[in-house]
Structure 1
Amino acid sequence: MSTHLIFIRHAQSTWNELRRWQGHADPPLAESGREQARLLARRLATWRIDHIYTSDLRRAAETAGIVGEQMGLTPTPSAIWRERGFGALEGLTSEEIAAQFPEAWAARMFGPITGIPGAEVQEAVIARARAGVAGLLQNHPGQTVAVVSHGGLILTTLVNLLGLPPSGHALLTVGGNTAISRVVVDGEHVRLMSMNDAAHLELWLGEPV
């Protein structure tokens, strides 16, 4: 029995517009993000989706709410789908991180970023991702479930689902806002059907994401 999992990165937040790392920080969607979410919802309205789960952070929950309203589904919020907490990096731009934490920034080329004061340890993120997926498979066998989450958490989830080593974090990309990645799980067999699909934004006239 195959279970289809659809992982969706949240739409553009006010901090995404400023290129600031967010982690557990909780900025809302920007107006550009609400338009992205509406385009996403229009596309997903033609898909068969049985349930929607979402991170409880506003940028994801607002995105899921717009999608759910279009599809007649009420998203289920859960902190398990939150972004990794980035501690001292939260609120900084990539340029500021590279200047203030050069060793941690360089570590991104080989795996998940490490050595950040106050950050959630990667082992805890992996445990959350595994628990989240296990819950979906247990509660929704044979169904199609969408999860609106965050780039880092989605990346960790995919790396672990596909059985990749930690270097998979450096080989795969988190994708842009509202990017869709689809996985089919059939017992112990996992197939990546698509990754970082944002075709619904191709005709969007907003700023590039």
Structure 2
Amino acid sequence: MDANLTRLIAVRHGETAWNVDTRIQGHLDIGLNATGLWQAQRAGQALADEPIAAVYASDLSRAWQTAQAIAEPHGLDVQPDLGLRERAFGRFEGMSFAEIEATLPEEARRWRERDPEFEPEGGGESLLTFRDRVTHTASTIAARHPGELVVLVAHGGVMDVLYRAATRQELQAPRTWQLGNAAINRMLWTPEGFSLVGWSDIAHLATDAPLDETTT
């Protein structure tokens, strides 16, 4: 194996009540709901036999709780990195999709059309700024662990940026891939960038599939 290559597993946090309500969380600190806690435990069980060297996570509770469930079987401490936080959405935070469409139609249009320079008022990040933050953070972490396997636990927006980076998709390209809660996503990193290995593995979340030696 290339000594400069780092294997990455990227995991979105488990479900929250605000996910169910289609409410923008951004930098607001919303914890997991009961389903999300179950999903986090299942992800931890699914990755228990992986040779994980380190687990990094957004410091927001929903990602942190998920990361702890993954790190615990390995006896690892979760390492916080604010660069793995969700995109800052300014005044969108706390609003549902429907509320944004109804009360802020022009801003909703720019958001829906993925305008890369659009910054929601009140401290929101543009997609350009967010992409640069996430890719810089993930690359910096990966560069610390050549030849190792590292887990990054973060948010839907972060997963989207990483997928686009690994598949060379433009920021404005329509999304055709899943960003499921607690899905397991695999990538490789070298100094030349990211590449995709597998995306949106949710076999561990099937309620009728016990996690044992026959579960891949």
Into which bin does the TM-score normalised by the smaller protein fall?
0.7 to 0.9
Q: Does 1:194 align with 2:198?
A: yes
Partner letter of residue 199 of structure 2? M
Give 1:196 shift. Answer: 1.9
Q: How many residue pairs end up in the alignment?
A: 204
**Paired residue for 1:8?**
11
Residues in 2 aligned to 1:17 and 1:171: alpha-carbon distance in whole angstroms:
20
Looking at structure 2, the residues matched to 89 and 109 of structure 1 have their Cα atoms a distance apart, in angstroms, of 13
Matches within 5 A, 1:124-135: 124-135=129-140
Alignment match of 2:189 (pick from 171, 185, 188): 185
Match of 2:149 in 1: 144
CA distance 1:179–1:116, change in 2 (3 Å): same
Return the TM-score normalized by structure 1: 0.87
Q: Percent identity?
A: 32
CA-CA distance at 1:189 after TM superposition: 5.7
Which segment drifts farther, 129-138 or 142-151? 129-138
Distance 2:162 2:103 in 1: 28
C-alpha contact 1:151 1:174 (8 A) present in aligned 2: no
The residue identity in structure 1 corresponding to 2:10 is: F
* Pick aligned residue for 2:171 from 166, 181, 206: 166
Change (3 A) 1:157 1:27: same
Whole-angstrom CA distance in 1 between matches of 2:155 and 2:208:
21
**Once the 2 structures are TM-superposed, how far is the Cα of residue 30 of structure 1 from its aligned partner?**
1.0
CA deviation string 1:94-142 (max 9, x = no partner): 1212222333434455436735212122232122112212212321111
Deviation string 1:66-103 (CA, Å, 9 cap, x unpaired) is 11112322110111100011111111111212222333
How big is the shift at 1:20? 1.2
Verify the 8 A CA contact 2:159 2:179 in the aligned structure 1.
no
Q: Secondary structure at the match of 2:35?
A: helix
Question: For structure 1, which runs of at least 5 residues remain unmatched after alignment?
Answer: none
Check the 8 A contact 2:166/2:193 in 1, yes or no. Answer: no
Name which of 75, 78, 83 aligns with 2:78: 75
Separation (CA, whole Å) in 2 of partners of 1:16 and 1:200: 20
Deviation at 1:65, TM superposition (A): 0.9
Selected match of 1:18 from 10, 18, 21: 21
- SS of equivalent residue, structure 2 residue 29: coil
RMSD: 2.2
Deviations along 1:5-57, one digit per CA (max 9) or x if unpaired, are: 11100011232233211000001111221111111111111222111000000
1:116 pairs with 2:148: no
